[in-house]
């Protein structure tokens, strides 16, 4: 079809535009990148306009703006709403990057023999949402747009989408659609395309354990005064038992148990444990007793320390008994755990296990609800058919361990099941140094999205 010809003819242009977007260090978690995050929003608005969108608007929020744009070709046709985010994770530790995180380079890898773009945000999510703008451009250019389209690209996904809910609630009419597309997940592999139908939620906590009112000499006071690091380690350790079950009372109360049949289907997905261990260079996996690796990331909740610090961390030895110790701890949640409730259970438990010799502070960062989406809706079937056309293989439904809290939000507020139409791979090093996104994935994604519009129109009208 003409759209694919256009995409193939414009590969260099499509790639260079993405590289320009990746050069903007739009790290939403760190205030020092504030101007860059705002530049990224402008970039996105410009790109939408150039591709042919109407009513493009950089919608201000108390945080970073949401970029909206649309093209209504015929109100009687089905409408596709695209969600994505232009903000990225922090890039530290910088020293572990083989090339600077905001100077994208294309290199061949074993998994991406046709090249991958190395840059923070290449897969999460700039490279993925930008495919939608390019597919739209191609359909517009070739006069083959067969559904109405709306874009909502936000800038706070990596810090909890704090201002999105209000925007969605206040703009229900404007955001009305028949399907929502989100490309912010991964497939099993290029040979085994898949569509994510389950995501975990998250509660993200930060804790501080405080001992004496100042750092002390570990000789003069050691053994007699609480060491906040020792205590923090004990408290963290007490939250997981020997089977790697979380011990916080009530933590599992609302966890949905899957039937044996459901578990069997889940475990039928292609998965090679040896290859998995080899890629990560680990001698063994590590997780909750009684569950497979696929289940541990797909249908079971977790408790992971994402960061810890306290005392002297410079070179050499310093014999300090520190005044305090801190940690960032997140819990991935599964249906029907409620993140506000889990955050409260965590806080109560953490305070209850603190010895009298220390004070503790607990703070809740952003959180999000877990979600499961239908694998039989019109949208899902259109996505399935589009992928089958471009990959030559029918995709399978999977559950992914990550969190996209807005999925549950969209389900609730817009009453529409999003399609998690991700084209990345789990080896793309999301949130890690050397994040990358396959060049081939980028282009096949654009073609698949264009194919989706046709399939969705057809299935909607049949």
Q: Establish whether 162 is a catalytic residue.
A: no
Q: Which of 72, 256, 282, 393 binds a copy of itself (CB under 8 A)?
A: 282
End-to-end CA distance of the chain: 22
CB 438 within 8 A of CB 116: yes
Q: According to the binding rule CB under 8 A, does residue 433 interact with a copy of itself? A: yes
Closer by beta carbon to a copy of itself, 88 or else 147: 88
Two tokens, residue 315 = 């070179």
- Which residues from 188-207 bind a copy of itself, rule CB under 8 A? 200, 202, 204, 206
Could you say which of 87, 137, 156, 428 is catalytic?
A: 87
Q: CA nearest 101: which of 111, 113, 109, 93?
A: 93
- Residue owning tokens 């050069």: 23
Q: According to the binding rule CB under 8 A, does residue 62 interact with a copy of itself? A: no
Q: According to the binding rule CB under 8 A, does residue 314 interact with a copy of itself? A: yes
Q: According to the binding rule CB under 8 A, does residue 217 interact with a copy of itself? A: yes
- Note the maximum CA span of the chain: 81
Q: Which of 49, 60, 92, 253 binds a copy of itself (CB under 8 A)?
A: 92
Q: According to the binding rule CB under 8 A, does residue 100 interact with a copy of itself? A: no
Q: Considering CB under 8 A, how many residues would be counted as binding a copy of itself?
A: 101
Evaluated on CA atoms 11, 16, 18, 19, the torsion sign reads: positive
Could you say which of 157, 347, 384, 447 is catalytic?
A: 157
The dihedral formed by the CA atoms of 96, 99, 100 and 105, expressed in degrees to the nearest 10: -140
Q: Which of 144, 165, 288, 338 binds a copy of itself (CB under 8 A)?
A: 288
Evaluated on CA atoms 252, 255, 259, 261, the torsion sign reads: negative
Closer by beta carbon to a copy of itself, 161 or else 177: 161
- Which residues from 227-246 bind a copy of itself, rule CB under 8 A? 227, 229-234, 236-238, 240
The site string for a copy of itself over 155-174 (x = CB under 8 A, - otherwise) reads ----xx--------------
Q: According to the binding rule CB under 8 A, does residue 111 interact with a copy of itself? A: no
Closer by beta carbon to a copy of itself, 225 or else 269: 225
Q: Establish whether 87 is a catalytic residue.
A: yes
- DSSP for 221-271, please give it: TTTTS--HHHHHHHHHHTTB-TTS-B-STTTTTTPPPPPHHHHHHHHTS--
Per the DSSP assignment, residues forming a β-bridge with 81 are: 150, 180
Question: Which residues are catalytically annotated?
Answer: 87, 157
């Amino acid at each position: 079809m003409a759209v694919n010809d256009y995409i193939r003819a414009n590969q260099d242009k499509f790639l260079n535009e993405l590289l320009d977007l990746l050069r903007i260090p739009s790290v939403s978690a760190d205030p020092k990148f504030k101007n860059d995050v705002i530049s990224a929003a402008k970039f996105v608005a410009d790109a939408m306009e150039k591709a042919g969108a109407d009513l493009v608007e950089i919608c201000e929020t108390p945080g970073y703006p949401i970029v909206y744009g649309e093209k209504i070709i015929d109100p009687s046709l089905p409408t596709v709403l695209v969600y994505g985010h232009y903000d990225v994770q922090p890039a530290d530790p910088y020293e572990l990057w083989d090339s600077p995180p905001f100077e994208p380079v294309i290199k061949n890898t074993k998994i991406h023999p046709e090249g991958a773009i190395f840059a923070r945000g290449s897969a999460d999510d700039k490279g993925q949402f930008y495919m939608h703008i390019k597919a739209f451009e191609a359909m517009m250019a070739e006069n083959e747009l067969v559904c109405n389209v709306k874009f909502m690209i936000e800038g706070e996904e990596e810090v909890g989408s704090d201002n999105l809910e209000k925007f969605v609630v206040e703009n229900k009419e404007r955001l009305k659609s028949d399907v929502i597309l989100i490309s912010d997940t991964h497939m099993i592999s290029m040979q085994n395309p898949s569509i994510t139908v389950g995501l975990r939620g998250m509660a993200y906590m930060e804790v501080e354990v405080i001992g004496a009112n100042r750092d002390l000499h570990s000789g003069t006071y050691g053994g007699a005064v609480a060491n906040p690091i020792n205590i923090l380690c004990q408290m963290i350790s007490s939250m997981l038992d020997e089977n790697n079950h979380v011990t916080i009372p009530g933590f599992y109360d609302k966890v949905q148990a899957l039937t044996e049949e459901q578990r069997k289907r889940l475990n039928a997905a292609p998965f090679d444990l040896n290859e998995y261990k080899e890629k990560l260079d680990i001698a063994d996996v590590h997780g909750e007793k009684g569950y497979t690796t696929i289940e541990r990331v797909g249908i079971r909740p977790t408790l992971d320390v994402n960061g810890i610090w306290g005392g002297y961390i410079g070179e050499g030895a310093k014999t300090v008994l520190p005044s305090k110790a801190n940690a960032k701890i997140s819990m991935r949640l599964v249906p029907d755990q409620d993140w506000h409730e889990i955050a409260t259970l965590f806080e109560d438990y953490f305070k209850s296990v603190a010895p009298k010799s220390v004070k503790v502070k607990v703070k809740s960062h952003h959180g999000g609800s877990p979600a499961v989406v239908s694998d039989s809706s019109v949208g899902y079937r259109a996505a399935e058919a589009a992928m089958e056309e471009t990959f030559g293989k029918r995709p399978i439904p999977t559950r992914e361990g990550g969190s996209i809290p807005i999925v549950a939000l969209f389900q609730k507020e817009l009453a529409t099941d999003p399609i998690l139409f991700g084209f990345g791979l789990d080896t793309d090093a999301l949130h890690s140094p050397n994040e990358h996104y396959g060049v081939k994935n980028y282009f096949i994604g654009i073609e698949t999205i264009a194919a989706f519009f046709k399939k969705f129109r057809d299935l909607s009208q049949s």
